[in-house]
Amino acid sequence: MNTVPSASPVAVGVFDSGVGGLSVLRALRRRLPGAALVYVADSRYAPYGERDDAYVIERSRVICDFLLQQGAQVLVMACNTATAAAAAWLRQAHPDVPIVGVEPGVKPAVLRSARRRIGVLATSGTLASAKFQALLETVRHQAEIHLQPCPGLAHAIEQGDPQAPEVMGLVQRYCAPLRDAGVDTVVLGCTHYPFVVDAIRQALGPEVSLIDTADAVARHTATQVLNKASALQPGVVSAGAVAAYTSGDAARLEAITARWLDFPVRVAPLP
């Protein structure tokens, strides 16, 4: 894997409605080992997938402002719902800041699928968004696509135990229609879902390929970092360090980062 040199001085701000964006943070750490990373889990207001656009835009604005105050020079919206609802607004509000969003990997799924039968696991908000529907239109004629909303799954994963009975039950429930439809490729359309990838793979069967876009987001962010490289602005994070803030329970986020990530993260409440 190609990485940005460890001396990279750029600070990258990352946020999600909760802990799901840690899957993107993990990929960013591998791709940008020398960058300062600042993460916000907006867990008090999670999941965004069950909120309206105006609400998501307002929360994204508040968090974006906070990350910029911490010295972030590149922003990553590690949330499909936030990207769909707020990315255009944030880019207009901050035209000089590179803003990287995420979207379900439908296009790479079409390229990978042998039978052209694709499933998409995502929140109801993501699937209903105009941005996703526009994406779907670009590939609809190329494959048979089965959309599976997963109400409650992101919230259940948010509790911190990906192997909890509630999580396992929801995974089985939402994967069953895709398995019955005979899909051979499934898109993980929420950044929470990679943390239950083993359960999803077991529910779908070993012959089904899974598409997670976290590394693609990290690669794109690395390009933005190389283009943006400049001296770190004064902030709370030094080069190579990782800090995480949450609007929810800081102790819970600290426990989750220790369990899910293989690098140290300093956790604090979101002011």
Supply the DSSP string of 104-139, one letter for each residue.
--HHHHHHH-SSSEEEEEE-HHHHHSHHHHHHHHHH
Quickly name the fold that domain 106-211 has: Rossmann fold (3.40.50)
Contacts (Cβ under 8 Å, ≥6 apart) of 80: 49, 102, 103, 104, 122, 123, 126, 132, 189, 190, 191
Of the candidates 192, 187, 252, which has an alpha carbon nearest to the alpha carbon of residue 44?
252
Decide if pLDDT at 232 tops 70: no
Structure tokens at 212: 């997670």
Decide if pLDDT at 267 tops 80: yes
Q: Report pLDDT digits (tens) over 82-134.
A: 999 999 999 999 999 999 999 999 999 999 999 999 999 999 888 999 999 99
Residues in the annotated binding site for substrate:
16-17, 48-49, 80-81, 191-192
Q: Cβ(253)–Cβ(267) under 8 Å?
A: yes
Quote the pLDDT of residue 9.
63
Confidence of residue 170 (pLDDT cuts 50, 70, 90): very high
What's the burial of 205, exposed, middle or buried (CB within 10 Å: 0-12/13-18/19+)? exposed
Q: Cβ(113)–Cβ(186) under 8 Å?
A: no
What's the burial of 190, exposed, middle or buried (CB within 10 Å: 0-12/13-18/19+)? buried
Which CATH architecture describes the domain 11-102+214-269? 3-Layer(aba) Sandwich (3.40)
CA–CA gap between residue 217 and residue 27 (Å, rounded): 8
CA–CA gap between residue 47 and residue 125 (Å, rounded): 10
Q: Over pLDDT 70: what percentage of the chain?
A: 92
Quote the pLDDT of residue 223.
85
Structure tokens at 133: 């529907």
Q: Cβ(155)–Cβ(47) under 8 Å?
A: yes
Decide if pLDDT at 231 tops 70: no
Q: Which of 64, 150, 175, 190 is catalytic?
A: 190
Of the candidates 37, 42, 36, which has an alpha carbon nearest to the alpha carbon of residue 20?
42
Cα angle 194, 198, 202; round to 5: 130
Structure tokens at 116: 């052209």
Decide if pLDDT at 55 tops 80: yes
Q: Select the more confidently predicted residue: 155 or 178.
A: 178
Confidence of residue 225 (pLDDT cuts 50, 70, 90): confident
Q: Which of 64, 79, 150, 175 is catalytic?
A: 79
- Summary mean pLDDT of the chain: 90
CATH code 3.40.50.1860 region(s) in the chain: 11-102+214-269, 106-211
Specify whether 190 is catalytic: yes
**Which run of H or of E encompasses 120?**
strand 117-122
Decide if pLDDT at 226 tops 90: no
Specify whether 64 is catalytic: no
Residues in the annotated binding site:
16-17, 48-49, 80-81, 191-192
Tell me if residue 15 falls in helix, strand or coil. strand
Strands of the sheet containing 117-122, edge to edge, are 144-149, 117-122, 185-188, 209-211
